[in-house]
């Protein structure tokens, strides 16, 4: 029997995950507290309007894809206090609330950290500074796709990749919300009908095409695994895919604005240990 073994949310786009015991799936199909903030570049001040959604793709801000040195940072977000803490090892790099002064403090601290890293030159490119911490800390609006989805992959898919690479591979490289055990490798890519996880019924959407962020070790930031070419070469995929996107059954696929209510789904909770099965 397949079941949930890990759950993650990503409060700040492109940064480290928070491991949680449960995820709340909102009526609009997004995960509560997931990608509610982002550090965008100075030249990305004009948003791309996707059906009313202010959306910055990861190329317009700090993200592991282009700045793997961010990986060792451990970021936590206190929803009730609307406060962000960033740690490096045992030390607190910065901690601040989401008021104007706090956002400036957080942005300056992250800019300084990156500028002092081996990737500092990337941040000095024209238009990238100053950084700005955007988002209201409530609405999930900074996913890699404007629509926003729940993401899932199986332990077996990652194990197969690790075997092909000849090294252990950490689930965190793939930045999914849900990790499942008990499936065969890449079985999630073959789902064609509804899937129930705990009490929530999902409609499978597209496979997840992977990027260079997966090459970075989630603890050190070193690009130490050729994930993309291994998926397409050794494992024979036409595209480098691992994992699947999901929407709750009854939720529109047309790019709903965060917080908008779609008919047919009132929200739900997924917990570690929940079973995963075809409906």
Q: Which helix (H) or strand (E) covers residue 229, if one does?
A: helix 227-232
At which of 134, 153, 185 does a domain end?
134
How many CA atoms lie within 13 Å of 13's alpha carbon, on the beta-carbon side? 32
pLDDT over 90 at 94, yes or no: yes
Mean pLDDT of all residues in 105-118: 96
Mean pLDDT of all residues in 51-76: 80
Give the domain CATH number at 239: 2.40.33.20
pLDDT over 90 at 139, yes or no: no
pTM: 0.90
What pLDDT score does 259 carry? 56
- pLDDT confidence band for 148 (50 / 70 / 90): confident
Residues 154 and 269 both lie in one domain: yes
What pLDDT score does 52 carry? 45
- pLDDT confidence band for 221 (50 / 70 / 90): confident
Read off the tokens for 149.
């989805």
Read off the tokens for 20.
């949680």
Mean pLDDT of all residues in 30-34: 94
The percent of residues above 70 in pLDDT, for the chain, comes to 92
| Among the listed residues 70, 74, 73, the one whose alpha carbon sits nearest the alpha carbon of residue 58 | 70
At which of 79, 113, 134 does a domain end?
134
- pLDDT confidence band for 255 (50 / 70 / 90): low
What pLDDT score does 48 carry? 52
Mean pLDDT of all residues in 236-251: 94
How many domains would you assign to the chain?
2
| Structure-derived torsion over alpha carbons of residues 62, 68, 71, 72, reported in degrees to the nearest 10 | -120
Lowest mean pLDDT among 132-141, 236-245, 261-270: 261-270
234 vs 84: CA distance, rounded Å: 41
What pLDDT score does 207 carry? 96
Please report whether residue 139 resides in a domain. no
What pLDDT score does 67 carry? 92
Sequence-distant (6+) residues with CB within 8 A of 171 are: 6, 153, 155, 158, 179
168-219 confidence digits (pLDDT tens): 999 999 999 999 999 999 999 999 999 999 999 999 999 999 988 899 898 8
The rounded Cα 174 to chain-centroid distance in angstroms is: 8
Residues 54 and 12 both lie in one domain: no
Sequence-distant (6+) residues with CB within 8 A of 233 are: none
What pLDDT score does 260 carry? 56
Read off the tokens for 198.
């705990």
Sequence-distant (6+) residues with CB within 8 A of 155 are: 5, 171, 179, 180, 181, 183
| Among the listed residues 276, 268, 34, the one whose alpha carbon sits nearest the alpha carbon of residue 137 | 34
Please provide the average confidence, as pLDDT, over all residues in the chain: 90
What pLDDT score does 47 carry? 53
**Domain boundaries, position 118:** 38-134
77 vs 86: CA distance, rounded Å: 9
74 vs 66: CA distance, rounded Å: 18
Residues 9 and 80 both lie in one domain: no
Please report whether residue 112 resides in a domain. yes
Residue 135 φ then ψ, to 5°? 110, 155
Residues 226 and 244 both lie in one domain: yes
What pLDDT score does 141 carry? 83
Lowest mean pLDDT among 8-12, 43-47, 116-120, 275-279: 43-47
pLDDT over 80 at 75, yes or no: yes
At which of 134, 158, 174 does a domain end?
134
- Tell me the residue length of the chain: 279
Please report whether residue 104 resides in a domain. yes
Residues 115 and 178 both lie in one domain: no
């Amino acid at each position: 029997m397949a079941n949930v073994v890990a759950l993650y949310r990503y409060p700040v786009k492109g940064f480290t995950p928070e491991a949680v015991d449960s995820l709340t799936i909102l009526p609009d199909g997004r995960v509560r507290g997931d990608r509610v903030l982002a550090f965008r570049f100075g030249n990305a001040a004009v948003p791309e309007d996707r059906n009313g959604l202010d959306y910055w793709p990861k190329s317009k801000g700090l993200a592991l894809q282009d700045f793997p040195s961010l990986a060792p940072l451990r970021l936590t977000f206190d929803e009730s206090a609307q406060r962000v803490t960033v740690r490096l090892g045992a030390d607190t790099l910065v901690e601040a609330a989401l008021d104007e002064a706090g956002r400036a403090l957080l942005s300056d601290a992250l800019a300084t950290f990156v500028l002092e890293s081996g990737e500092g030159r990337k941040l000095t490119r024209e238009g990238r500074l100053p950084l700005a911490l955007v988002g209201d800390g409530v609405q999930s609006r900074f996913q890699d796709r404007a629509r926003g989805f729940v993401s899932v992959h199986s332990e077996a898919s990652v194990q197969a990749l690790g075997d092909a690479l000849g090294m252990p591979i950490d689930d965190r490289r793939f930045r999914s919300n849900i990790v499942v055990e008990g499936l065969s490798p890449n079985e999630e890519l073959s789902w064609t009908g509804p899937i129930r996880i705990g009490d929530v019924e999902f409609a499978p959407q597209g496979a997840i095409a992977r990027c260079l962020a997966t090459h970075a070790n989630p603890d050190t930031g070193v690009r130490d695994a050729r994930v993309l070419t291994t998926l397409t070469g050794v494992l024979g995929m036409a595209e480098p895919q691992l994992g699947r996107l999901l929407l709750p059954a009854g939720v529109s696929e047309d790019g709903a604005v965060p917080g908008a209510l779609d008919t047919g789904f009132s929200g739900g909770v997924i917990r570690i240990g929940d079973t995963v099965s075809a409906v």
